Amino acid sequence: MRDLLARTLARRFYHRPVFLVGAGRSGTIALFRALGTHPEILFIPGGEIPFVTTIGSAVLPFEIGEKKDYYLEQTKVPKDYLYSQLRRLCFESATGPHYGLKVLLKDLLRSRIQFTKARYWCVKTFPGNKVFEGLLHLYPEAKFIYIVRNGLDVVRSRTKFSAFRDEDFAEHCGVWANAAERFSYLQSNSNAVMVRQEALISQPEVVFEKIYDLLGITHDEKPIEYIRTTLVHSLADDETHDNVDVRTHLENRKPAYEEWSPEQRQTFKTICGAAMHKLEYEIPF
Protein backbone atom coordinates (compact mmCIF):
# COMPACT_ATOMS: atom_id res chain seq x y z
CA MET A 1 0.00 0.00 0.00
CA ARG A 2 2.80 2.46 0.88
CA ASP A 3 4.61 1.68 -2.36
CA LEU A 4 1.43 2.22 -4.37
CA LEU A 5 0.73 5.57 -2.68
CA ALA A 6 4.27 6.82 -3.23
CA ARG A 7 4.34 5.69 -6.87
CA THR A 8 1.10 7.59 -7.43
CA LEU A 9 2.54 10.75 -5.87
CA ALA A 10 5.79 10.44 -7.84
CA ARG A 11 4.34 9.43 -11.20
CA ARG A 12 4.81 12.87 -12.83
CA PHE A 13 8.52 13.19 -12.09
CA TYR A 14 9.80 9.72 -11.21
CA HIS A 15 11.39 9.20 -14.65
CA ARG A 16 12.78 12.75 -14.93
CA PRO A 17 15.86 13.29 -12.79
CA VAL A 18 18.10 16.33 -12.88
CA PHE A 19 21.68 15.37 -12.10
CA LEU A 20 23.71 18.26 -10.72
CA VAL A 21 27.43 17.78 -11.39
CA GLY A 22 30.49 19.72 -10.26
CA ALA A 23 33.55 19.79 -8.03
CA GLY A 24 33.03 20.42 -4.34
CA ARG A 25 33.17 24.10 -3.29
CA SER A 26 31.91 25.17 -6.73
CA GLY A 27 28.44 26.25 -5.66
CA THR A 28 26.77 22.88 -6.11
CA ILE A 29 24.89 22.92 -2.81
CA ALA A 30 23.66 26.49 -3.25
CA LEU A 31 22.40 25.69 -6.74
CA PHE A 32 20.84 22.43 -5.57
CA ARG A 33 18.93 24.15 -2.78
CA ALA A 34 17.89 26.98 -5.08
CA LEU A 35 16.48 24.50 -7.59
CA GLY A 36 14.56 22.84 -4.76
CA THR A 37 12.57 26.04 -4.24
CA HIS A 38 11.07 25.76 -7.74
CA PRO A 39 7.53 24.35 -7.51
CA GLU A 40 8.16 21.88 -10.35
CA ILE A 41 11.27 20.32 -8.82
CA LEU A 42 10.98 18.00 -5.83
CA PHE A 43 13.13 19.19 -2.94
CA ILE A 44 15.17 16.30 -1.51
CA PRO A 45 16.97 16.99 1.78
CA GLY A 46 20.71 16.38 1.58
CA GLY A 47 20.94 15.84 -2.13
CA GLU A 48 24.51 14.54 -2.62
CA ILE A 49 24.16 10.92 -3.70
CA PRO A 50 27.40 9.37 -5.04
CA PHE A 51 25.65 5.97 -5.21
CA VAL A 52 23.72 7.24 -8.25
CA THR A 53 27.03 7.16 -10.12
CA THR A 54 27.49 3.53 -9.06
CA ILE A 55 24.03 2.66 -10.38
CA GLY A 56 24.84 4.34 -13.69
CA SER A 57 27.94 2.16 -13.92
CA ALA A 58 25.83 -0.96 -13.35
CA VAL A 59 23.93 -0.29 -16.59
CA LEU A 60 27.02 -0.18 -18.81
CA PRO A 61 27.66 -3.95 -19.22
CA PHE A 62 24.14 -4.33 -20.66
CA GLU A 63 24.54 -1.50 -23.18
CA ILE A 64 28.20 -1.17 -24.17
CA GLY A 65 30.82 -3.62 -25.37
CA GLU A 66 31.09 -7.02 -26.96
CA LYS A 67 29.82 -8.86 -23.87
CA LYS A 68 26.49 -7.06 -23.51
CA ASP A 69 24.56 -10.04 -24.98
CA TYR A 70 26.38 -12.34 -22.57
CA TYR A 71 25.33 -10.17 -19.61
CA LEU A 72 21.72 -10.16 -20.78
CA GLU A 73 21.69 -13.93 -21.25
CA GLN A 74 23.21 -14.65 -17.85
CA THR A 75 20.94 -12.28 -15.93
CA LYS A 76 17.82 -14.20 -14.97
CA VAL A 77 15.42 -11.28 -15.25
CA PRO A 78 14.32 -9.25 -18.31
CA LYS A 79 16.26 -6.03 -18.94
CA ASP A 80 13.14 -3.91 -18.48
CA TYR A 81 12.57 -5.41 -15.04
CA LEU A 82 16.23 -4.98 -14.12
CA TYR A 83 16.17 -1.33 -15.16
CA SER A 84 12.95 -0.67 -13.28
CA GLN A 85 14.60 -1.99 -10.13
CA LEU A 86 17.70 0.13 -10.72
CA ARG A 87 15.52 3.22 -11.20
CA ARG A 88 13.74 2.47 -7.94
CA LEU A 89 17.06 1.97 -6.14
CA CYS A 90 18.35 5.21 -7.62
CA PHE A 91 15.29 7.18 -6.50
CA GLU A 92 15.15 5.59 -3.05
CA SER A 93 18.86 6.13 -2.45
CA ALA A 94 18.01 9.84 -2.62
CA THR A 95 14.57 9.89 -1.01
CA GLY A 96 14.27 6.83 1.25
CA PRO A 97 12.35 3.53 1.19
CA HIS A 98 8.90 2.97 -0.32
CA TYR A 99 9.64 5.27 -3.24
CA GLY A 100 10.55 8.07 -0.86
CA LEU A 101 7.13 8.16 0.75
CA LYS A 102 8.12 10.37 3.72
CA VAL A 103 9.75 12.96 1.44
CA LEU A 104 6.76 12.94 -0.92
CA LEU A 105 4.25 13.35 1.92
CA LYS A 106 6.22 16.28 3.36
CA ASP A 107 6.21 17.88 -0.06
CA LEU A 108 2.48 17.28 -0.38
CA LEU A 109 1.82 18.87 3.01
CA ARG A 110 3.68 21.97 1.82
CA SER A 111 1.21 22.06 -1.09
CA ARG A 112 4.05 21.97 -3.58
CA ILE A 113 3.11 18.94 -5.67
CA GLN A 114 1.33 19.95 -8.86
CA PHE A 115 -0.14 16.85 -10.45
CA THR A 116 -0.91 18.51 -13.79
CA LYS A 117 2.68 19.58 -14.53
CA ALA A 118 5.76 17.68 -15.66
CA ARG A 119 8.17 17.75 -12.73
CA TYR A 120 11.71 16.70 -11.90
CA TRP A 121 13.65 15.44 -8.93
CA CYS A 122 17.23 16.56 -8.43
CA VAL A 123 20.39 15.16 -6.83
CA LYS A 124 24.07 15.97 -6.91
CA THR A 125 26.25 13.15 -8.22
CA PHE A 126 29.55 12.58 -10.03
CA PRO A 127 29.23 10.75 -13.38
CA GLY A 128 32.10 10.47 -15.80
CA ASN A 129 31.37 10.24 -19.52
CA LYS A 130 30.61 6.49 -19.57
CA VAL A 131 28.40 6.66 -16.49
CA PHE A 132 26.58 9.57 -18.13
CA GLU A 133 25.71 7.20 -20.98
CA GLY A 134 24.54 4.58 -18.48
CA LEU A 135 22.28 7.06 -16.70
CA LEU A 136 20.76 8.13 -20.01
CA HIS A 137 19.95 4.50 -20.83
CA LEU A 138 18.26 4.27 -17.45
CA TYR A 139 16.60 7.69 -17.72
CA PRO A 140 16.19 8.84 -21.35
CA GLU A 141 14.58 12.08 -20.09
CA ALA A 142 17.37 12.90 -17.63
CA LYS A 143 18.97 16.34 -17.68
CA PHE A 144 22.38 17.40 -16.36
CA ILE A 145 23.46 20.72 -14.89
CA TYR A 146 27.23 21.19 -14.73
CA ILE A 147 28.47 24.00 -12.51
CA VAL A 148 32.08 25.20 -12.71
CA ARG A 149 33.97 27.73 -10.63
CA ASN A 150 37.34 29.41 -11.03
CA GLY A 151 39.97 27.00 -9.74
CA LEU A 152 41.62 29.77 -7.73
CA ASP A 153 38.46 30.23 -5.66
CA VAL A 154 37.77 26.50 -5.32
CA VAL A 155 41.27 25.77 -4.04
CA ARG A 156 41.15 28.72 -1.62
CA SER A 157 37.77 27.54 -0.37
CA ARG A 158 38.99 23.98 0.10
CA THR A 159 41.98 25.15 2.16
CA LYS A 160 39.64 26.86 4.61
CA PHE A 161 36.54 24.67 4.70
CA SER A 162 36.44 22.28 7.66
CA ALA A 163 35.87 19.10 5.64
CA PHE A 164 38.94 19.59 3.45
CA ARG A 165 41.39 22.04 5.03
CA ASP A 166 43.73 19.39 6.50
CA GLU A 167 44.58 18.08 3.02
CA ASP A 168 47.81 19.00 1.24
CA PHE A 169 47.72 22.09 -1.02
CA ALA A 170 48.65 20.01 -4.06
CA GLU A 171 45.76 17.67 -3.29
CA HIS A 172 43.33 20.61 -3.28
CA CYS A 173 44.63 21.61 -6.70
CA GLY A 174 44.40 18.06 -7.99
CA VAL A 175 40.79 17.62 -6.91
CA TRP A 176 39.70 20.65 -8.91
CA ALA A 177 41.81 19.85 -11.97
CA ASN A 178 40.65 16.22 -12.03
CA ALA A 179 37.01 17.27 -11.76
CA ALA A 180 37.46 19.74 -14.62
CA GLU A 181 38.79 16.92 -16.79
CA ARG A 182 36.28 14.30 -15.60
CA PHE A 183 33.23 16.44 -16.32
CA SER A 184 34.48 18.26 -19.44
CA TYR A 185 32.15 16.23 -21.66
CA LEU A 186 29.24 18.22 -20.20
CA GLN A 187 30.53 21.53 -21.57
CA SER A 188 28.67 20.94 -24.82
CA ASN A 189 25.93 18.35 -24.62
CA SER A 190 22.29 18.63 -25.66
CA ASN A 191 21.17 16.99 -22.39
CA ALA A 192 23.17 19.39 -20.24
CA VAL A 193 23.74 23.04 -19.46
CA MET A 194 27.00 24.40 -18.10
CA VAL A 195 26.73 27.08 -15.42
CA ARG A 196 29.57 29.28 -14.23
CA GLN A 197 29.39 30.03 -10.52
CA GLU A 198 30.49 33.59 -11.21
CA ALA A 199 27.57 34.13 -13.61
CA LEU A 200 25.18 32.45 -11.17
CA ILE A 201 26.11 35.09 -8.58
CA SER A 202 26.26 38.12 -10.88
CA GLN A 203 23.36 37.30 -13.23
CA PRO A 204 21.21 34.61 -11.62
CA GLU A 205 18.16 35.49 -13.72
CA VAL A 206 20.10 34.75 -16.94
CA VAL A 207 21.51 31.49 -15.61
CA PHE A 208 18.16 30.21 -14.40
CA GLU A 209 16.50 31.03 -17.71
CA LYS A 210 19.03 28.69 -19.35
CA ILE A 211 18.19 26.01 -16.80
CA TYR A 212 14.43 26.53 -17.20
CA ASP A 213 14.80 26.25 -20.98
CA LEU A 214 16.72 22.98 -20.65
CA LEU A 215 14.09 21.50 -18.32
CA GLY A 216 11.09 23.01 -20.07
CA ILE A 217 9.67 24.39 -16.82
CA THR A 218 8.07 27.73 -16.04
CA HIS A 219 9.93 30.84 -14.95
CA ASP A 220 10.01 31.23 -11.18
CA GLU A 221 11.69 33.89 -9.05
CA LYS A 222 12.27 31.82 -5.93
CA PRO A 223 15.51 30.10 -7.07
CA ILE A 224 16.85 33.48 -8.23
CA GLU A 225 16.04 35.10 -4.90
CA TYR A 226 17.64 32.21 -3.01
CA ILE A 227 20.93 32.65 -4.86
CA ARG A 228 20.90 36.40 -4.36
CA THR A 229 20.31 36.30 -0.61
CA THR A 230 21.64 32.98 0.76
CA LEU A 231 25.31 32.39 1.53
CA VAL A 232 25.86 28.63 1.72
CA HIS A 233 28.84 27.23 3.66
CA SER A 234 31.05 30.26 3.17
CA LEU A 235 34.76 29.36 3.35
CA ALA A 236 35.48 28.07 6.89
CA ASP A 237 31.84 28.54 7.94
CA ASP A 238 29.72 25.37 7.97
CA GLU A 239 26.55 27.39 8.47
CA THR A 240 24.22 28.88 5.87
CA HIS A 241 23.32 32.56 6.20
CA ASP A 242 20.09 34.14 4.96
CA ASN A 243 19.33 37.74 4.00
CA VAL A 244 22.84 38.36 2.67
CA ASP A 245 23.77 40.36 -0.41
CA VAL A 246 25.75 37.43 -1.79
CA ARG A 247 27.11 39.23 -4.84
CA THR A 248 28.53 42.11 -2.79
CA HIS A 249 29.90 39.76 -0.15
CA LEU A 250 31.84 37.69 -2.69
CA GLU A 251 33.01 40.67 -4.74
CA ASN A 252 34.53 42.23 -1.61
CA ARG A 253 36.79 39.25 -0.94
CA LYS A 254 40.46 39.67 -1.63
CA PRO A 255 41.88 37.58 -4.50
CA ALA A 256 42.27 33.96 -3.50
CA TYR A 257 45.98 33.74 -4.26
CA GLU A 258 47.09 36.70 -2.08
CA GLU A 259 47.55 34.40 0.91
CA TRP A 260 49.53 31.79 -1.04
CA SER A 261 53.27 31.36 -0.90
CA PRO A 262 55.36 31.45 -4.11
CA GLU A 263 55.61 27.67 -3.89
CA GLN A 264 51.84 27.29 -3.65
CA ARG A 265 51.33 29.58 -6.63
CA GLN A 266 53.71 27.50 -8.69
CA THR A 267 51.98 24.31 -7.54
CA PHE A 268 48.64 25.71 -8.66
CA LYS A 269 50.06 26.65 -12.07
CA THR A 270 51.60 23.23 -12.55
CA ILE A 271 48.53 21.19 -11.55
CA CYS A 272 45.66 23.44 -12.61
CA GLY A 273 47.12 25.41 -15.51
CA ALA A 274 45.73 23.24 -18.33
CA ALA A 275 42.26 23.03 -16.78
CA MET A 276 42.19 26.79 -16.15
CA HIS A 277 43.02 27.40 -19.81
CA LYS A 278 40.41 24.90 -21.02
CA LEU A 279 37.71 26.53 -18.90
CA GLU A 280 38.87 30.01 -20.01
CA TYR A 281 39.99 31.24 -16.60
CA GLU A 282 43.11 33.38 -16.26
CA ILE A 283 45.93 32.86 -13.80
CA PRO A 284 46.92 36.39 -12.73
CA PHE A 285 50.38 35.56 -11.40
Backbone phi, then psi, for 48, in 5-degree steps?
Answer: -95, 110
Beta bridge partners of 120: 41
Residue 262 lies in a domain: no
pLDDT at 226 over 70: yes
b/e sequence 152-174, b meaning 16+ C-beta within 10 Å: bbbbbbbbebeebeeeebeebbb
Residue 25 lies in a domain: yes
Residue 174 lies in a domain: no
Report angle CA 251, 257, 260 to the nearest 5 degrees.
Answer: 145
For residue 217, the enclosing domain spans 2-148+190-253
Residue 185 carries which DSSP code?
G
User: Which of the four pLDDT bands, split at 50, 70 and 90, describes residue 238?
Assistant: low
Treating both helix axes as pointing N-terminal to C-terminal, what angle do 151-160 and 169-182 enclose, rounded to 10 degrees? 130
Residue type present at position 228: R
Provide the mean pLDDT of the chain: 92
If one counts every other C-beta atom within 10 angstroms of the C-beta of residue 78, the result is 10
pLDDT score at 6 = 86
CA distances to 45, 84, 102 from 2, in Å: 20, 18, 10
Q: Decide if 172 contacts 272 (C-beta within 8 A).
A: no
Number of domains in the chain: 1
Q: What is the pLDDT of residues 152-193, one digit of tens each?
A: 999 999 999 888 989 999 999 999 999 999 999 999 999 999
Residue 55 lies in a domain: yes
Residue 284 lies in a domain: no
pLDDT score at 18 = 98
Residue 36 lies in a domain: yes
Residue 171 lies in a domain: no
If one counts every other C-beta atom within 10 angstroms of the C-beta of residue 79, the result is 15
Count helices and strands in the chain by DSSP H and E runs: 14, 7
In 3-state terms, what secondary structure has residue 2?
helix
Which of the pair, 248 or 114, is modelled with greater confidence? 248
pTM equals 0.93
Characterize the bridge pairing of strands 240-241 and 231-232. antiparallel
pLDDT score at 123 = 96
